[in-house]
Structure 1
Amino acid sequence: MKPTFLAIIPARGGSKGVPRKNIKELAGKPLIAWTIEEAKKSKFIDRVILSSEDHEIIEIAKQYGCEVPFTRPVDLAQDETPGIAPVLHAMKECPGYDFVVLLQPTSPLRTVEDIDGAIETLFEKEADFCVSVTEPNQSPYWMYSLNVNGTMKPLIKQENFALRRQDLPKAYSLNGAFYMAKTEQLKVTKSFLTDDTVGYVMPRKRSFDIDTEEDFFLCQQVLRDM
């Protein structure tokens, strides 16, 4: 029997870095529209819903064909609200799905090929959790912390310091594009990141995670050049 998938797009009204960023226009349409449209193209996702407490965001999401089965409680839309809380709330409001897919609207360059590719990876590896990752611009093997006296301490200890990037071990960072999990397992772990989580590698050019006005500007340029 084909497993069922619930996609959740979380979009609260408050935003510090870019005010009202979830509905701010990006290359001709609201930021959130980019995620809604790609999610609706998926051959695996059965239902795409929005979780928001903001009525304007809700109305715009509906205009782009996203279902809004509930209004998120305001106490789950605060700056200090853990990211998993709205997901668990949405799963409770919309029960009965085998898997949940969290799609943050701040990753507008993520495509349906990325989403469905990750779901296929879940099946192939018989995994319960999968998250999107990318190779960072700067390797953590070249990163340091500074001691109180200003001296440098490597974040990762190495026997021999590599001067060439190609000599460094491969490293990956979360890019925020999507998080996937079996619903019953997620209820237990309350986290997408476990010892058994599988990483799905996305190219850096589609791994924009908009958090600042500069991010927004750069992403806009990329979309206009596509």
Structure 2
Amino acid sequence: MTSNTALNTDTSHTSAPKIIALIPARSGSKRIPRKNIKPFCGKPIIAYPITTALESKLFSRVIVSTDSQHIADIAQSYGAEIPFLRPSSLSDDFTPTAAVAAHAAQELGLDSSSSDVLCVIYPTTPLLQASFLAQGLQALLDSSAAYSFGALEYSYNPYRSFVIDEGSPTMLFPEHYHKRSQDLPRIYHDAGQFYFGRVWAWHDELAIFAPHSRPIVLPHSLAHDIDTLEDWNLAELKFRAFMDSSSATLS
């Protein structure tokens, strides 16, 4: 699933920044119990992003932020560091990613005035590829952006969407009714995989989906947001198809 990707993180005007991966993996998932360590095609799902991050050679450290000692033990067995346990106050359903990243940056002593970078990688990303992480990091370092992140194009354009009210459809954007789908603006959404951010941006809890960010557009075959058991099953199908395709290419 991964490949070693060389990347020059030096800059012409500063010393090389620290590049650290942070995988947030709290306990207490309700829709999919034990979601972050649930077996996925033979391994705890969190093992995949840990392995990809380590094998990418992009990061000086790969850290898991969790409130669970059990999750910590599993993550550590796959090579992640657990330098602290996250407090329960930052481990509920409503805690934003930025707050978890800011807490980790503080625990790790990352200075918000530095050029250091913290990459948040979600734990349920078995399709994550090192090459896209490399693209994300390079996009950030080559610009003055606060963040870079993985994005997906909507498979069906939302400008053609409608609501159903009392059994009848009403278009949300009726002005686009007569337009061909290929003539509509392309619309994208968060892929739910990775978010490179400058430490100062995480400390300020700056919004990610804004002009100060750089999106990296991913193929649908290599990204799948997992919120429900149906999502989980579809992600396993994608993963197996990718592995079969990779094996066929190598043979």
TM over 0.5: yes
- In the comparison of the two structures, how many residue pairs are matched? 224
Contact 1:4 1:44 in 2 (8 A): no
Counterpart of 1:210 (choices 212, 218, 226) is 226
The residue that corresponds to 1:15 in the other structure is 29
Counterpart of 2:146 (choices 110, 114, 128) is 128
Aligned-partner Cα distance in 2 for 1:176–1:16: 18
The residue that corresponds to 1:173 in the other structure is 189
The residue that corresponds to 1:112 in the other structure is 130
The residue that corresponds to 1:143 in the other structure is 161
Question: How does the TM-score come out when normalised to structure 1?
Answer: 0.91
Aligned-partner Cα distance in 2 for 1:92–1:187: 8
Q: Once superposed, which parts of structure 1, at least 4 consecutive aligned residues long, lie more than 6 Å away?
A: none
Report the more deviating stretch, 208-217 or 126-135.
Answer: 126-135
Relative distance call for 1:149 and 1:116 in structure 2 (3 A) is: same
C-alpha displacement of 1:162: 2.0
The residue that corresponds to 1:92 in the other structure is 106
1:34 maps to 2:43: no
RMSD: 2.0
Secondary structure of residue in 2 paired with 1:173: strand
C-alpha displacement of 1:148: 7.8
For 1:6-26, what per-residue CA distance to the aligned partner results, in whole angstroms no more than 9, with x for missing partners? 211000111122110111111
Secondary structure of residue in 1 paired with 2:182: helix
What aligned pairs does 1:69-88 form with structure 2 within 5 A after superposition?
A: 69-88=83-102
Counterpart of 1:162 (choices 179, 189, 202) is 179
Structure 1 unaligned regions, length at least 5? none
Aligned sequence identity (%): 33
Secondary structure of residue in 1 paired with 2:142: helix
Aligned-partner Cα distance in 2 for 1:153–1:136: 17
Structure 2 unaligned regions, length at least 5? 1-14, 244-251
Aligned-partner Cα distance in 2 for 1:157–1:128: 36
